[in-house]
Amino acid sequence: MKQTKTLKVRVRDKHAPLLQQMARSVNFVWNYLNELSARSIRERGRFLSAFDLHPYTKGANKELGLHSQTLQEIAREYVTRRKQFKKLRLNWRKSGGVRRSLGWIPINTGAARWKNGQVYHNSYYFKVWDSYGLSQYQFRSGSFNEDARGRWYFNVVVEVDTAVPTGQDKIGIDLGLKDTATCSDGTKLEAGRFYRDLEPKLAIAQRARNKKRVQAIHAKIANRRKDALHKFTRQLVNRAGAIYVGNVKSSSLTQTKMAKSVLDAGWGLLKTMLEYKCAGAGIVFKAVNEAYTTQTCSNCGALPDSRPKGIAGLGIREWTCSACGVRHDRDINAAKNILAVGHGRPAVGIPVL
């Protein structure tokens, strides 16, 4: 079975000055297209497509030190984001200052290839830490990207052979703050383990205003979170035939006092990983309405008086159903109800969702 996959490799630091120069040119083109598009809308009432924008940048690649296809990719990405955010004009890409945009150099299919043990693009060779054996892949679209620490990475889409998982389990997932994810079979991904041991070091670096150290610790936390979520989601996809997750929105909770815990949990990243991994494996994935799943007894389907209610009940981790006498782990009970809703078999106590 063929499937596309994005590979990410680190670019050697000696190439950073060249990539930063190219990134400044990318920002210049982006801002030019941004103003050009806004002016067309203002003066002629016409939205310019990527095809309409291409003639305005044609031939400028040599002056800017960019590949000709990079100019086309910038125009395509600009139009895509303008439609996505439904704005007449997008934010400017800044090449300097505290709020500067992180470097980005898009690459179209065929504009980069593996040559002489290096990535060859725009008449330059870029040495990378090749952890995937890039010589065995045919490069498709990709990009060079900079992170907050000034390190550059080469991201490229390739086609790989994958085996279809044979798992047949049906799994419901409840997202939470104490545990990032709790499955209906009792499997849990503990929240906070990504950063707890790094919090004292982070506090010291912040008090000392050591910007580079703070960025390094934040990057380490982010890498730990991604690694844990990748491993957790891969295990679920390998053994499941259908996965259902509650449709809780982290964006709404980031406006409350729980913002730090919500952002640390990484719900959005977890759902994104599950969505594309399930799609690649041919597995059912669905976000379902989780209303009343915490309060409903997964055994009898009742809404007993002993159930945890509202904000006051957030501290109740275990409770006993006064209707049938079954004792529940709060999160596992919610995950079981989410699984039932995903199957289209809501418990008796859950209203029509």
The model's pLDDT over 101-130, given as tens digits with 9 standing for 90+, comes to 999 999 999 899 999 999 999 999 999 999
Residue 349 scores a pLDDT above 50: no
Task: Give CA–CA dist 157/306, Å, rounded.
Answer: 52
Confidence (pLDDT) at 345: 60
Closest CA to 30 of 50, 45, 13, 15: 50
Highest mean pLDDT among 224-233, 304-313, 341-350: 224-233
When comparing pLDDT for 94 and 282, which is higher?
94
Chain region(s) in the chain for CATH 3.30.420: 164-346
Other Cβ atoms closer than 10 A to 30: 21
Are the C-beta atoms of 243 and 284 separated by less than 8 Å?
Answer: yes
Are the C-beta atoms of 290 and 334 separated by less than 8 Å?
Answer: yes
Q: Taking the model in full, what pTM does it have?
A: 0.80
**164 exposed, middle or buried (CB, 10 Å; 0-12, 13-18, 19+)?**
exposed
Confidence (pLDDT) at 313: 67
Other Cβ atoms closer than 10 A to 75: 25
Q: Which amino acid is at 275?
A: E
> What average pLDDT does the structure give for the chain?
88
The arrangement of strands across the sheet holding 112-115 comes to: 112-115, 118-121, 124-126
Task: Give CA–CA dist 71/30, Å, rounded.
Answer: 9
The model's pLDDT over 5-50, given as tens digits with 9 standing for 90+, comes to 899 999 999 999 999 999 999 999 999 999 999 999 999 999 999 9
The arithmetic mean of pLDDT across residues 217-226, rounded, is 90
Would you say the C-alpha torsion 295, 300, 301, 306 has a positive or negative sign?
Answer: negative
Residue 297 scores a pLDDT above 50: yes
Q: Which residues contact 342 (CB under 8 A, 6 or more apart)?
A: 170, 172, 242, 244, 286, 288
Count of residues making up the chain: 353
Percent of the chain with pLDDT over 90: 55
Closest CA to 156 of 226, 219, 105: 105
The topology under which CATH files domain 164-346 is Nucleotidyltransferase; domain 5 (3.30.420)
Are the C-beta atoms of 73 and 80 separated by less than 8 Å?
Answer: no
Confidence (pLDDT) at 353: 39
The model's pLDDT over 143-156, given as tens digits with 9 standing for 90+, comes to 999 998 999 999 99
Confidence (pLDDT) at 348: 45
Are the C-beta atoms of 137 and 159 separated by less than 8 Å?
Answer: yes
The model's pLDDT over 232-250, given as tens digits with 9 standing for 90+, comes to 999 999 999 899 998 887 7
Residue 68 scores a pLDDT above 90: yes
Task: Give CA–CA dist 168/240, Å, rounded.
Answer: 5
List of E strands, 188-279: 188-190, 240-246
Are the C-beta atoms of 162 and 243 separated by less than 8 Å?
Answer: no
Confidence (pLDDT) at 312: 60
**Confidence band for 311, pLDDT divided at 50, 70 and 90:** low
The arithmetic mean of pLDDT across residues 220-228, rounded, is 89
Residue 344 scores a pLDDT above 70: yes
Q: Which residues contact 146 (CB under 8 A, 6 or more apart)?
A: 19, 20, 23, 102, 103, 104, 152, 153
Confidence (pLDDT) at 3: 81
Task: Give CA–CA dist 136/49, Å, rounded.
Answer: 36
